[in-house]
A and B are shown apart, each in its own frame.
Chain A
Amino acid sequence: MPADSASPNIPSSKPASSASSAVPALEVVGLRKTYSNGVEALKGVSLKVAQGDFFALLGPNGAGKSTLIGILSSLVNPSGGDARVFGLSIHADRGGVMRQIGLVPQEINFNQFESPFDICVNVAGFYGIPRAIAKPRAEKYLKELRIWDKAFQQTRMMSGGMKRRLMIARAMMNEPRLLILDEPTAGVDIEIRRAMWHFITGINAAGTTVILTTHYLEEAEQLCRNIAIIDHGEIVEDTSMRRLLSKLDVQSFVLDVTGFDGMLPQLDGVKLVRIDDQTLEAEMPSTHNLNALFAALTARGITVTSMRNKTNRLEELFVRLVERNDNGTRA
């Protein structure tokens, strides 16, 4: 039984039933992007995200995540290929696509001299939503994201966490069917992060499809049902979170111990390493029985006071996939 390192405080969106949908929330077909400086950011990416999904799009810095999101949200011109949102093509019906999408970008991109309330109501106006509807909606989302008390102050007076929550409220003003979050919790403290995920899992449970990019893999593992990993402009993995995690055949644990006298027990299939007199590290196949390890340690008079995963499971897989892709690219 692996000890799960994911925070129990992150609300899970995973109680999933299986269903199929004729029209995916997002279907990306052979999407390419080459910037004017010659950098090939996307090399024919294809991807499908089902309606109602909570989907993780992961990748190292510069992998092409933000370019892909930029194309979907009309901020970047594609060089080739197509993307369809609820069946609408970004080429044939840009306006129709934009009506389906709410975007929470990585960088702060609102007028810092306007108030959160004005920003939300104005953005609703850009979607053709009259002020009579936009005003109560702005109040609703600013309250849900706990920034209503700052609603009428200039946003430049707000903290970083508040600004990030404002961008989520703003993205909700057109009540999108597809919410795209590009590293929404970067630099946000744990309490605010938890509140943000509580809000977003609620939105997802109500039927909104969510696509998330994050460098906090613990979040992705806990929240997302499906995952794609992009590296060097290519999709290197596209599967369900469950299947991906089941590929992890080796896991490492950090054990806090007492009674260690310098002699490590020998155990088949387990690589046991001393970190210091109070800490041991054990690496073993994921199918290995932990009871045997505890029994061997107990026999040597060592008591395990606590244990944890050395790394997050998804992080382990992520690093392996990206390293494998790096080696493949170099070869």
Chain B
Amino acid sequence: MNDLAHPPANPAPVYAGSVRVRANLVALGTITRREVRRMLRIWTQTLVPPAISMTLYFVIFGKVIGSRVGLIHGFTYMQYIVPGLVMMSIINNSYGNITSSFFGSKFGRYVEELLASPMPNWVVLTGYVSGAVLRGVLVGIIVLGIALFFTSLHLAHPLVAVTTVLLGSTIFSLAGFINATFAKRFDDIQMVPTFVLTPLSYLGGVFYSISMLGSPWREMSRVNPILYMVNAFRYGILGVGDVPVWIAYVVMLAFVIVLGGFALWLLQKGVGLRS
């Protein structure tokens, strides 16, 4: 029998309904805000490098080489590659943001602040994905702004362009989150961009139309998810693309659902996070 010091307190208060909804929104806003502040605090690592590398792409591929290529689907080579390069920047930066941030929180153990909090898993995931998508969008705007120094563009289908950016960055944010969850060392978060993301980006129709490829490369290109994002975005900007836009939406939505479900399952099981 133990000694007790204080009179009995009430049981735990009930936490439900609109109170729970408001709490989740505050938590979601907190993670997103923290991610955005982190991105802006280290802007020389997050915003400047894609601006420099894409400027080089525009100069070398767009101006120097592009002047000898001629028209593709009625557009100059510079105009043709801009949507692909913008999309590539968005994908790479969304992925890089979430892997470095989430793995950093594991490495520094402050992921425990999240795990020991009452936040539902979907709030944790949505918060990190929102931060990564915002970086992707911001980098996309910067790269698009730089592109306008080299060529003129008209938004053919703004809604398609915007939704493709959001879906594409969400897909690679989710993929980055999964990578960071499994990662045990910093090397583990570098391997996927190096060996998977970069090859898929280059082979995803950023620099060419797959109609220029012969068989079987044209057919093989269709299993590359980046092809659908690049071409849907190109359709949004230029009004042309190698794949029907509705198929691109189906593919992107399928990836969001599958990767999102898998990421939530990992959080639920605590894979890579809980002993």
A and B are interacting partners: yes
Known: A77-B274, A105-B112, A109-B112. A125 touches B4 (CB 8 A): no
- B212, CB-defined interface residue at 8 Å: no
Binary interface encoding of chain A residues 117-144 relative to chain B, with 1 for a CB under 8 A from any of its CBs, else 0: 0000011011111100000000000000
Name 17 A/B residue pairs within 8 A (Cβ), A-sorted: A13-B5, A16-B4, A19-B4, A21-B9, A53-B6, A70-B275, A101-B116, A107-B109, A109-B108, A122-B34, A122-B113, A126-B27, A126-B119, A127-B23, A170-B113, A204-B5, A240-B3
Known: A52-B7, A53-B2, A87-B11. A77 touches B114 (CB 8 A): no
Query: A240–B1 contact, CB under 8 A?
Result: yes
- A285, CB-defined interface residue at 8 Å: no
Q: How far is the CA of A302 from the CA of B112 in the complex (A)?
A: 59
Query: B22–A48 contact, CB under 8 A?
Result: no
Which of A88, A99, A207 sits near B9, CB closer than 8 Å?
A207
Complex interface: chain B residues within 8 A of A170 (CB): 113
- B190, CB-defined interface residue at 8 Å: no
Query: B3–A125 contact, CB under 8 A?
Result: no
Which of B6, B24, B41, B112 sits near A75, CB closer than 8 Å?
B112
Chain A 20-71 interface residues, beta-carbon cutoff 8 Å to B: 20-23, 35, 48-54, 67, 70
- B29, CB-defined interface residue at 8 Å: yes
Q: How far is the CA of A125 from the CA of B29 in the complex (A)?
A: 8
Interface size class on chain A is 35 or more
Binary interface encoding of chain B residues 1-28 relative to chain A, with 1 for a CB under 8 A from any of its CBs, else 0: 1111111111110010000101110110
Complex interface: chain B residues within 8 A of A22 (CB): 8
Query: A111–B275 contact, CB under 8 A?
Result: no
Complex interface: chain A residues within 8 A of B22 (CB): 128
Q: How far is the CA of A126 from the CA of B27 in the complex (A)?
A: 4
| B-binding segment of A90-98, A184-192, A213-221, A313-321 | A90-98
Known: A16-B4, A52-B7, A109-B110. A128 touches B26 (CB 8 A): yes
Task: Output the nearest chain B residue to A98 by Cβ-Cβ distance.
Answer: B118
Query: A99–B112 contact, CB under 8 A?
Result: no
Q: How far is the CB of B248 from chain A (nearest CB, A)?
A: 36
Complex interface: chain A residues within 8 A of B119 (CB): 95, 126
Q: How far is the CA of A120 from the CA of B41 in the complex (A)?
A: 19
Which of B27, B41, B116 sits near A74, CB closer than 8 Å?
B116
Complex interface: chain A residues within 8 A of B113 (CB): 109-110, 122-123, 126, 170
Complex interface: chain B residues within 8 A of A109 (CB): 108-110, 112-113
Query: A54–B5 contact, CB under 8 A?
Result: yes
Q: Is the interface of B mostly helix, strand, loop or mixed?
A: loop
Task: Output the nearest chain B residue to A70 by Cβ-Cβ distance.
Answer: B275
Which of A51, A238, A241 sits near B8, CB closer than 8 Å?
A51
Chain A 150-208 interface residues, beta-carbon cutoff 8 Å to B: 170, 177, 204, 207
Query: A17–B11 contact, CB under 8 A?
Result: no
Query: B275–A75 contact, CB under 8 A?
Result: yes
- Measuring CB to CB, which residues of chain A are less than 8 angstroms from any residue of chain B? 13, 16-23, 35, 48-54, 67, 70, 73-77, 85-88, 94-101, 103, 105, 107-113, 122-123, 125-130, 170, 177, 204, 207, 225-226, 238-242
Q: How far is the CB of A53 from chain B (nearest CB, A)?
A: 6
- B151, CB-defined interface residue at 8 Å: no
- B120, CB-defined interface residue at 8 Å: yes
Q: How far is the CA of A101 from the CA of B112 in the complex (A)?
A: 14
- B117, CB-defined interface residue at 8 Å: yes
Determine which residue in A75, A76, A238 has the highest number of CB atoms from chain B within 10 A of its CB, and name it.
Answer: A75
State the 5 A-B residue pairs at the shortest beta-carbon distance, nearest first.
A128-B23, A52-B6, A125-B30, A21-B8, A95-B118
Q: How far is the CA of A98 from the CA of B24 in the complex (A)?
A: 14
Q: How far is the CA of A167 from the CA of B270 in the complex (A)?
A: 23
Query: B23–A52 contact, CB under 8 A?
Result: no
Complex interface: chain B residues within 8 A of A101 (CB): 116
Complex interface: chain B residues within 8 A of A86 (CB): 9, 11-12
Query: B5–A52 contact, CB under 8 A?
Result: yes
Query: A129–B108 contact, CB under 8 A?
Result: no
Known: A75-B112, A75-B274, A126-B113. A48 touches B2 (CB 8 A): yes
Q: How far is the CB of B116 from chain A (nearest CB, A)?
A: 5
Q: How far is the CB of B184 from chain A (nearest CB, A)?
A: 14
Query: B12–A16 contact, CB under 8 A?
Result: no
Known: A87-B12, A98-B118, A99-B15. A110 touches B4 (CB 8 A): no
Q: How far is the CA of A177 from the CA of B150 in the complex (A)?
A: 61
Q: How far is the CB of A79 from chain B (nearest CB, A)?
A: 11
Task: Output the nearest chain B residue to A88 by Cβ-Cβ distance.
Answer: B12
Complex interface: chain A residues within 8 A of B109 (CB): 107-109
- B46, CB-defined interface residue at 8 Å: no
Q: How far is the CA of A18 from the CA of B5 in the complex (A)?
A: 6
